[in-house]
Structure formats: structure tokens, C-alpha cells
């Protein structure tokens, strides 16, 4: 998953980033509402974690701006306010879920995976493509029922492809979802990851659709 975290509390943000990156997520971090709004408007994310009490622009205003502009990414709001009226305001602004501080970051991960699964219209607990099965709730891949060992970047690429199985994922979109905003990316890095994945997931295969991107299918390679 590629995620956006908008949180001004440095200690909390560091802990969230540590846990999400350990879960193979690519995360861009904004420390105020203006920067967070800009990233949400200009980048592609699977979901956003949005604090409500932000400097420069509060979280409700950020979320209202995204929704008014037609941004449909799932948004989980963080709030130190546990009053029901604050939660209602968040949902009215377009939030998909919320957590009240303090919270366990592990719960945040579980909720984010559920949001992404629902947003991708995958209500089932697992997603299959040929011998490959992905459990979004656990973030785990198996091949023929056995755990599939993947690097963090391989996991990000394969999860993006299996959520759009049989559909073409543009190369640029794959780059955006796999790498964090400030990462230095080699132009051939995606091709290298795809090559490694092809060896690991056969007989499922990743097709190169020239001029467009990549597609994950269950079929045998020709």
C-alpha cells in the first residue's frame, strides 16, 4: 500500500511510520494541513491517515477539500477529541473511519487494510489469482498454500497488481504507489522487481502491456 500520513505530533508520526514501513507500506508524511492537502491533491494513495488538529489547516477542512475535488481515497481520521459531535463532523466531511488518541498502531494497520480492501471492492477476506492468494487483513501472500517470501518492494508491487488482477496497472502508477515521495528511483527499478516476481509466482504471470504497464493474470506463460 502507498499511504499518506498527515500528523504534526513528531513522536506519534515516527511510531506510525515505523510500524507502517515494517508492514511494507510506502508512506509520505506531511506535518501540517496545507502540505497534506497538497499531497492528497497531487499524488496517488491507497489511503490517508489524517489528524484533525493540524497547524495551518485543520483536518476537517483538508478532508472537505479533497471530497469537494472528487478525491475518493479512503481516509481514516485521528483525533484527540472523543466527543460524538467531533466524530459526526469527521464522517460528514467524508471520513471512512476514525481512531481516538491514544491508540495502538497495530489497530491502525488493521483498519487501513480493511479500508483499502473495501475501496477496491474486495469484500472477501482473501484475493486469489491462480496459485497466488493475498490476505489484505494480514498483508500475507501465499503460493499454493505456502507462505510467499517477498522483499518490501516486491510486496508493494504484487499487492498493487493483485488488487487490480486482470487489469492493466500503468507503470507510472506503480512507481507512485511503490515508492515514497522523496525516494530516489532508478528508471529500471520496477522492471527489476517485476523480473524477480515472475520467478516467484509462476505459473501466475505478470504480463508487460507495451506502452501501458503491467497486468497480473492466472494463466500459464506462453
Domains of the chain, first to last: 2-119 (3.40.50.2300), 127-217 (1.10.10.10)
Check residue 86 and give its pLDDT.
77
Q: What is the DSSP string of 169-193?
A: EEHHHHHHHHS-TT----TTHHHHH
Cis peptide before 203 (omega within 30 of 0): yes
The C-alpha cell that represents 164 in the structure block: 487490480
Check residue 146 and give its pLDDT.
93
Tens-of-pLDDT digits for all 222 residues of the chain? 789 999 999 999 999 999 999 988 889 999 999 999 999 999 989 899 999 999 999 999 999 999 999 999 999 999 886 667 777 888 899 999 998 888 889 899 988 988 887 776 555 567 889 999 988 767 789 999 999 999 888 988 998 899 888 789 888 878 877 776 655 666 678 889 999 999 999 999 999 998 889 999 987 644
Check residue 82 and give its pLDDT.
66
Q: Residue 218, Cβ neighbours under 10 Å: how many?
A: 14
Closest CA to 165 of 214, 221, 119, 97: 214
Task: Output the pTM of the full model.
Answer: 0.70
Check residue 221 and give its pLDDT.
45
Residue 137 CA: distances (Å) to CA of 60, 113, 124, 128: 27, 6, 10, 14
Check residue 190 and give its pLDDT.
86
Q: Residue 23, Cβ neighbours under 10 Å: how many?
A: 18
Amino acid at each position: 500500500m502507498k499511504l499518506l500520513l498527515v500528523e504534526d505530533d513528531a513522536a506519534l508520526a515516527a511510531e506510525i511510520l515505523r510500524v507502517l514501513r515494517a508492514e511494507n507500506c510506502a508512506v509520505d508524511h506531511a506535518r501540517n494541513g496545507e502540505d497534506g492537502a497538497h499531497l492528497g491533491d497531487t499524488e496517488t494513495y491507497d489511503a490517508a491517515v489524517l489528524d484533525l488538529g493540524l497547524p495551518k489547516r485543520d483536518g476537517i477542512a483538508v478532508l472537505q477539500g479533497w471530497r469537494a475535488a472528487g478525491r475518493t481515497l479512503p481516509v481514516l481520521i485521528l483525533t484527540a477529541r472523543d466527543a460524538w459531535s467531533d466524530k459526526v463532523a469527521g464522517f460528514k466531511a467524508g471520513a471512512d473511519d476514525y481512531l481516538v488518541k491514544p491508540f495502538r498502531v497495530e489497530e491502525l494497520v488493521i483498519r487501513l487494510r480493511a479500508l483499502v480492501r473495501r475501496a477496491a471492492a474486495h469484500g472477501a477476506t482473501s484475493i486469489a489469482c491462480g496459485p497466488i492468494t493475498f490476505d489484505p487483513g494480514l498483508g500475507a501472500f501465499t503460493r499454493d498454500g505456502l507462505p510467499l517470501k517477498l522483499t518490501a518492494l516486491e510486496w508493494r508491487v504484487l499487492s498493487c497488481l493483485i488488487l487490480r488482477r486482470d487489469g492493466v496497472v500503468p507503470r507510472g502508477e506503480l512507481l507512485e504507489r511503490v515508492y515514497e515521495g522523496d525516494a530516489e528511483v532508478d528508471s529500471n527499478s520496477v522492471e527489476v522487481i517485476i523480473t524477480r516476481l515472475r520467478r516467484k509466482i509462476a505459473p501466475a504471470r505478470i504480463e508487460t502491456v507495451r506502452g501501458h504497464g503491467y497486468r497480473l493474470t492466472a494463466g500459464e506463460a506462453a
